[in-house]
Amino acid sequence: MEKRSLAWKFIFSFVLLICMLTTVWYTWHSQVLLATQRKLTAQLDTSQKREVKQQVEYDQALADLPVALALAAEFVPQADALQAQVDDLKVTRKALRTEIAANQEALSLLDEERIALVDTLRALQADLATCLSTLTTASMP
């Protein structure tokens, strides 16, 4: 009987130890799960708030869209007119550049002609000086 009661004591102690370890394990895991749940709940709340904010911004953008389209429609003719002016100015600038290039070429040719005329004038002046000196020496007795 002593052996039986000692065996029952060991069995009871073992069962009690298993129950205690199970309770500790369950308590620890429930706290971990509770902390995880709180963390996930906070993340979900943040995500939901972000989604609500984005939805409000989207709704506001949709509400502002007709006004923006009306403003854009007002500026389209002005933009087209300005673009036409820009295109005209580009054509004018191209024509002016072509004219400048032609004028520079003509100026270069005129400059070369001027240099040739100056050289001719100097040669004629030298010839005139020679003729005058010849005349002055020939007219002297």
Question: What is the per-residue pLDDT for 117?
Answer: 93
Overall average pLDDT of the 103-118 stretch: 93
Using one digit for the tens of pLDDT, what is the confidence trace for 21-58?
A: 999 999 999 999 999 999 999 999 999 999 999 999 99
The model carries a pTM of 0.41
In this structure, of 42-51, 80-89, 117-126, 129-138, the range with the lowest mean pLDDT score is 129-138
Rounded to whole angstroms, the Cα distance separating 48 from 54 reads 10
Gap between the Cα atoms of 104 and 91, Å rounded = 20
Band of pLDDT at residue 68, cut at 50, 70 and 90: confident
pLDDT of 138 reads 72
pLDDT tens sequence across 47-56: 999 999 999 9
Please name the amino acid found at residue 54.
Q
Alpha-carbon span 107 to 94, nearest angstrom: 20
